[in-house]
Amino acid sequence: MKYIACEKPHEFLLKQKPVPQREPGESLLKIKRIGICGTDIHAYGGTQPYFIYPRVLGHELAAEYIDGEAPGFNTGDKVTFIPYFHCGKCIACRNGLTNCCVRMQVFGVHIDGGMAEYVCIKDEYLLHGGSLGYDELALVEPLAIAAHGVRRAGVTENDTVLVMGAGPIGIGLIQFAQKAGARVIAMDTNQFRLDFCGESLGVNACINPLEADVAESLSHLTNGDMPTVVFDATGNRNVMNAAFNYIAHGGRFVLVGLQKGELAFSHPDFHKRESTLMSSRNATRQDFDYVLQSLRSGAIDPKKYITHRGSFDSIIEKFSEWTDPKNNAIKIIIDVA
C-alpha cells in the first residue's frame, strides 16, 4: 500500500509497505478521506510540539470498515475513530480525563497516523458513521476538539465569547458556542475567514486586528464589559499574551491553540479580575458522541468549511500551496481512492 511520511520539516516522501495485519482486538480500515489540520501544517513546518521525525501524519480521518470482529461493525460500514490512544491506568484516565492521559499517544503525532491507504485501529476507538458521508466523518475530530473546549469553558446563553482564530477549530468553537446560546465575536487577520464567519455562521461581530484596536473594539461591542469567555485557536504566543487584556472580570481564558514557548501576563491585572485560565486538550468520547449527534440532527454542517480538495497522490506537490495563507484555505480534504 502507499503511504506518505514527513521525513523532516518541509519534506514529504511517498513510500510503499504491506497492508497492515490486524492484531486481536483491532480492525482493518481503508482510509477514504484525510482532513489536513493545523497539527499537520505545524509538523510539516517544524513548529509542532511533541513531535519526532520521520512521522506519518493524519488524524482527521474517515474510513471504510474492511475486516475485524468489532461488535456492531460490518464490512463496508462508514466509520471514523477517536485518534487519542490512552493508557486507561494513569491519574487522568482513572478520573475519566482520557483526553489528557499521562501516556497519551495521538495518532499522527506521537505515533504514525493515517496518511496511508490502510490502517489498523483498536476496536475501542471506533465510531459508527451511519448515514453521514465521508466528508462529514473526516471533520468529526476537529469538531470534537471544539466541542470539548466549549464544554470545558461551561459556555451558556449568558456569555459573550471571543474566538481568536477563525480556522477549522475556531469555526467549530464558534458554532458550538452559538449552539450553547452565547453571543460570539470572531477575530482573525484573514479577512476571507472573517467574511465567512459573518456571512455563513452569523457571528455577532468580527474584528480584524490589522484594522482595529482589539481591546477598544471589544469594549465597544460589550458596553465596556469585555468577553466573559476568550478562546485562543491561533497557537500564536503574541496573540495569547495580548488576550489576557480582553477578559471580563470573572471571565475565562481557554487555550485551545498550542505553541512552544512561555506565556507572560500581569499577575495583578489577572488577579483583580479573578480570571480563570485553562487549557483544552483533545476530546473525550462524550465530545465525539455529541458531535455525531449534532451532525445527524443537522445542528452543525461542516461541509461548508471545505474550501480545497486534492488527491492522495497530489499531497507532496500541492501541500505547501494549499496551506499558504494567501490561498484562503479553511479546510483541505484529501480524497483517497
> Can you give the CATH number for the domain in which 183 is found?
3.40.50.720
Q: What is the pLDDT of residue 6?
A: 96
Answer yes or no: do 263 and 322 share one domain: no
Contact 175, 182 (CB under 8 A): no
Answer yes or no: do 269 and 310 share one domain: no
Answer yes or no: do 72 and 171 share one domain: no
Q: What is the pLDDT of residue 133?
A: 97
Answer yes or no: do 126 and 182 share one domain: no
Answer yes or no: do 9 and 91 share one domain: yes
In a domain, 287, yes or no: no
Q: Distance between CA 143 and CA 176 in Å, rounded?
A: 9
pTM above 0.85, yes or no: yes
Under 8 Å CB-to-CB from 156, ≥6 apart: which residues? 180, 181, 182
From first to last of its 337 residues, the chain has per-residue pLDDT tens of 999 999 999 999 999 999 999 999 999 999 999 999 988 998 998 887 778 999 999 999 999 999 999 999 999 999 999 999 999 999 999 999 999 999 999 999 999 999 999 999 999 999 999 999 999 999 999 999 999 999 999 999 999 999 999 999 999 999 999 999 999 999 999 999 999 999 999 999 999 999 999 999 999 999 999 999 999 999 999 999 999 999 999 999 999 998 888 999 999 999 999 999 999 999 999 999 999 999 999 999 888 889 999 999 999 999 999 988 888 999 999 999 7
Number of domains in the chain: 2
Answer yes or no: do 157 and 241 share one domain: yes
Under 8 Å CB-to-CB from 268, ≥6 apart: which residues? none
Q: What is the pLDDT of residue 303?
A: 87
3-state SS, the chain, equals CEEEEEEECCEEEEEECCCCCCCCCEEEEEEEEEEECHHHHHHHHCCCCCCCCCECCCCEEEEEEEECCCCCCCCCCEEEECCEECCCCCHHHHCCCHHHCCCCEEECCCECCCCECEEEEEHHHEEECCCCCHHHHHCHHHHHHHHHHHHHHCCCCCCEEEEECCCHHHHHHHHHHHHCCCEEEEECCCHHHHHHHHHHHCCCEEECCCCCCHHHHHHHHCCCCCCCEEEECCCCHHHHHHHCCCCCCCCEEEECCCCCCCCCCCHHHHHHCCCEEEECCCCCHHHHHHHHHHHHHCCCCHHHHEEEEEEHHHHHHHHHHHHCHHHCCCEEEEECC
Q: What is the pLDDT of residue 310?
A: 95
Q: What is the pLDDT of residue 326?
A: 86
Answer yes or no: do 220 and 185 share one domain: yes
Sign of CA dihedral 262, 268, 269, 273: positive
In a domain, 173, yes or no: yes
Answer yes or no: do 85 and 111 share one domain: yes
CATH number at residue 307: 3.90.180.10
Which structural domain, as residue segments, surrounds residue 307? 2-138+301-335
